[in-house]
Amino acid sequence: MAAAKFLTYTRGGTKKLEKPFEKPVIVPREDDQDPAAHAWADARFATDIMAEHGLFFALLMPPELARDERKDALQFSRKFTQLHIRIVEAGPPEKRELKRFTTRVIEAIKPFIDYKARLGEAQRKGKLRSLVWPLFFDHTRHEAERWTRRLEQLSAGDSEFEKAEVAGFWDNIMDEHARFVAHLLDPDESELIEKAMDTSKVFQELGAGGFAGAAAALVKKPGTVVNALTTFPETSAVLSAAETILDFKTKAARDIEAGRIKSIIDPRLADHVRREALKFFDELKRAL
Ligand SMILES: [Fe+2]
Ligand SMILES: [Fe+2]
């Protein structure tokens, strides 16, 4: 890999990873518009995310309740892990290989989108009784669909991030993460549950009405973790919110790992949502 072309984000800002749960996020340098570099970094990120979705489904599918669905989830997880390793090892594609590279990843994601849609529907109707919420199936499907859209855009030679798309997609994802966290915390963690719900509200408002809505949510919820919003002008409001939820998730990941937070949040899930917040933050900086 041409390492100089890429930046590596870590929790602590140094080269050292917080073992065993932290994974780095690798992105093209800030001034790099090369679609092949972006396609490699995004495929690298997304295939690992997909592998983890499969793993999280399996964790939430007791064999007594969803034996076949669990098997399929683990199969997806293995398939994406293998693809991820191949992408990491091969490094960025040549320009002439870009189309083939993105098509391969998109084609791998498609059956997982179908699986998430089918099982989401079954869980919603009570035909499947796993411990995966319907919203978790929807959420992970929306992520899969977004990565295929992004790779299609890159395969056409366009690497630019559009602010409305980036904020629109990730505001919703951040809102849902906050609600997932709230519902996976030990019910005794009242203060954190409230913080998570307030954070969700801010991202809902940002998604619906932009800055004014978020500011209104803050007035109603002065205890929110996104206090910094009030001190920023409108253009930076989403960036500030993204940075604040990233800090919140980094702290939560560390506290979950150290057992300082009582929850049923798997440390791998905590790091997963932290990396997604980081990606949001990075994309937003490029889009502004
Ligand atoms: Fe995800
Ligand atoms: Fe997510």
174: CA distance to ligand 2 center in Å?
7
What's the rounded Cα separation, in Å, for the pair 221 and 236?
A: 20
pLDDT in tens, the chain (288 residues): 455 689 999 999 999 999 999 999 999 999 999 999 999 999 999 999 999 999 999 999 999 999 999 999 999 999 999 999 999 999 999 999 999 999 999 999 999 999 999 999 999 999 999 999 999 999 999 999 999 999 999 999 999 999 999 999 999 999 999 999 999 999 999 999 999 999 999 999 888 866 666 666 665 554 454 444 444 455 577 888 889 899 999 999 999 999 999 999 999 999 999 999 999 999 999 997
Judged by its nearest atom, the ligand closest to the C-alpha of residue 173 is 2
User: Could you read off the pLDDT of 183-237 as tens digits, one per residue?
Assistant: 999 999 999 999 999 999 999 988 886 666 666 666 555 445 444 444 445 557 7
Parallel/antiparallel/unpaired status of strands 25-28 and 6-9: antiparallel
Q: Are 112 and 76 in contact, with CB atoms under 8 Å apart?
A: yes
Residues whose beta carbons lie less than 5 angstroms from ion ligand 2: 276
178: CA distance to ligand 2 center in Å?
10
Whole-prediction pTM: 0.93
Query: How buried is 123 (Cβ within 10 angstroms: 0-12 exposed, 13-18 middle, 19+ buried)?
Result: buried
Contacts of 286 (CB under 8 A, 6+ apart): 30, 161
pLDDT at position 206: 87
pLDDT at position 215: 63
pLDDT at position 228: 47
Task: State the sign of the Cα–Cα–Cα–Cα dihedral 38, 44, 49, 54.
Answer: positive
pLDDT at position 223: 46
Element of type H or E holding 8: strand 6-9
Torsion angle (degrees, nearest 10) of CA 184, 189, 192, 194: 90
> 212 to each of 118, 131, 203, how far by Cα in Å?
37, 37, 12
What's the rounded Cα separation, in Å, for the pair 249 and 279?
A: 13
Tokens of 240: 């500030």
Judged by its nearest atom, the ligand closest to the C-alpha of residue 52 is 1
177: CA distance to ligand 2 center in Å?
6
Judged by its nearest atom, the ligand closest to the C-alpha of residue 181 is 2
What is the three-class DSSP state of 271?
helix
266: CA distance to ligand 2 center in Å?
14
User: Helix, strand, coil % (nearest 5) of the chain?
Assistant: 75, 5, 25
Nearest CA to 181 out of 205, 203, 167, 200 is that of 200
